Amino acid sequence: MRTVKRLLALCFLLSLALGKTYLIPIQGEIDPALAVFVEQALTRAEREGASGVVLLIDTPGGRVDAAIRISDRILQTPLPTLAVVQNAFSAGALIALSCRQIAMLPGSEIGAALPVVALPLQQPQAADQKIISALKGKFRAVAEARGRPVELAEAMVDPQVEIPGLSAKGEPLTLSADKAVELKVADFKAGSLSEALRQAGYSLETERLEPGPRVQVARFLTSSTVAGLLLALGLLLLLLELFTPGFGVMGTLGLAFLALYFAGGWLAGLSGAFELVLFFLGVALLLAEAFLFPGFGIAGALGVGSILASVYFTFGENALMVIAIAVIALGLGLLLVFRFLPRTRPARALVLESTISEHATGDEVEVGAIGVALTDLRPGGVARFGNKRIDVVANRGFLPKGTTLRVVEVRGPTVVVEALEE
């Protein structure tokens, strides 16, 4: 029996020595596109008979859902896995702990995995206790699966777990290279990648796998800032296109920005037809609210909710950041339109201005009065009743300039009109 075990061990060591070692970089922010890349790289390594896989980890962290996805895939692979750590903070610590072996490079650290919520113009804050508890459970399960100290893994996530001499209460645990090895969180220190390969018994013949153009584009387009800006620019340009005749440059650019927004989610595996339909259903409901019904009611609320749901299903825990960036960018865009383009057709239509010098008020016109539209009503615009020029709102959809109108309702300053049928 001992002879059989020795032979099996010898065969394993020979396979490591003779086969090729695949290197997978885990660098920069951890996101869903990176998770797709790691899954594809591990599948390729398994298919091509790699002797082992080395994950080169140098990351400040990133999305928890993406890190969990990478962690699960590493735990599932039958190949030997080695994490060579330069910096493994936050979500990167979970990925490192998922490997069978961990090597710490000079000056490296691991830990600080407290989940945080970050919004534009605000300091990051600790996530809800439920999220912390769930992530702590994941760290605990991974540590148990790899035979690492469970309490230390939990302390990386939960600042309430105090480790005497290592971390004070209220601070997530972070370990230096020496401490990580001493406390058996990591297996050994190495001065370089080649030294780490030798100590772990991996083949020195390596092949580095890099993210392809598709993954690189997806990582760029799905970053919170870029996605939020694309969403804001797309909506802003489509809004401006509504106030120009026909369909021109602004509408085309708006659709192009929205196409890039959805392309990033599709390439990263975040969104599909459902999210796309949900988004444009929301846009359609907002248009219906704008052109078919005066005021803001059920259609408008459902439209906003549909768009927000589409963003949430696409970006998950990062949806709040994407929405916040989009709202800020859209607000700034409208401000610029009002401030610097006051005499353009879109700006005039948005603020219901016209070249008419004097306007009357709703108190100066009665129900049943007949007039003519001096501007397109979308649904708001300007009409003339006798020698009076009044801001009006069409009760049903778009009415072109020159349409004969009849006043159907006067609500304070709001004058509601309809097209006069011949």
Measured in Å, how far apart are the chain's first and last C-alpha atoms? 102
pLDDT category of residue 272 using cuts at 50, 70 and 90: confident
For residue 402, count CB atoms less than 10 angstroms from its CB and return exposed for 0-12, middle for 13-18, buried for 19 or more: exposed
Task: Residue 318: name the closest of 67, 134, 47 by CA.
Answer: 67
Q: Which of 303, 255, 254 is nearest to 279 (CA)?
A: 303
CA–CA dist 71, 286 (Å, integer): 41
φ/ψ region of 403 (left if φ > 0, alpha if ψ in -120 to 50, else beta) reads: beta
Reference 307, options 329, 275, 340; nearest CA is 275
Confidence of residue 352 (pLDDT cuts 50, 70, 90): very low
Helices (H) and strands (E) in the chain, counts: 15, 14
What pLDDT, on a 0 to 100 scale, did the predictor assign at position 67? 93
Q: Are strands 116-117 and 21-27 parallel, antiparallel or unpaired?
A: unpaired
Summarised one tens digit per residue, pLDDT across range 289-306 is 666 665 556 777 788 888
CA nearest neighbour of 52 among 29, 74, 85: 74
- Count of CB atoms within 10 A of residue 307's CB? 22
The residues near 29 (Cβ < 8 Å, ≥ 6 apart) are 59, 60, 61, 62, 63, 219, 223
Q: Which residue has the higher pLDDT, 143 or 348?
A: 143
pLDDT for 222-238, tens place per residue? Answer: 888 888 899 888 888 87
Query: For tokens 């501007």, what's the residue?
Result: 375
Mean pLDDT of the chain: 82
Task: Report whether pLDDT(416) > 80.
Answer: yes
Alpha carbon distance 313, 279 (integer Å): 10
DSSP-based helix, strand, coil % in the chain, nearest 5: 50, 20, 30
Alpha helix (H) residue ranges in 99-162: 129-146, 150-157
Q: What is the mean pLDDT of the segment spanning 115-127?
A: 66
Q: Which residues pair with 100 in a beta bridge?
A: none
* Segment 90-110, tens digit of pLDDT: 999 999 999 999 999 999 999
Per-residue confidence (pLDDT) for residue 56, from 0 to 100: 96
pLDDT at 385 over 50: yes
pLDDT at 418: 87
Entry pTM: 0.70
Note the pLDDT of residue 383: 87
Tell whether the model's pLDDT for residue 312 goes beyond 70: yes
Q: 322: helix, coil or strand?
A: helix
Give the pLDDT band (50/70/90) at residue 10.
very low
Q: What percent of the chain has pLDDT above 70?
A: 83
| Strands, E assignment, 8-161 | 21-27, 52-59, 81-89, 101-111, 116-117, 125-126
Q: CB of 82 within 8 A of CB of 50?
A: no
Q: Which of 138-152, 333-347, 404-418 has the highest mean pLDDT?
A: 138-152
Token pair belonging to 25:
């970089």
Question: For residue 145, is pLDDT > 90?
Answer: yes
Q: Is residue 6 pLDDT above 90, yes or no?
A: no
152 and 185 in contact (C-beta within 8 Å)? yes
Q: Is the pLDDT of residue 136 over 60?
A: yes
DSSP-based three-state secondary structure for 370:
strand
Cite the beta strand spans of 28-65 per DSSP E.
52-59
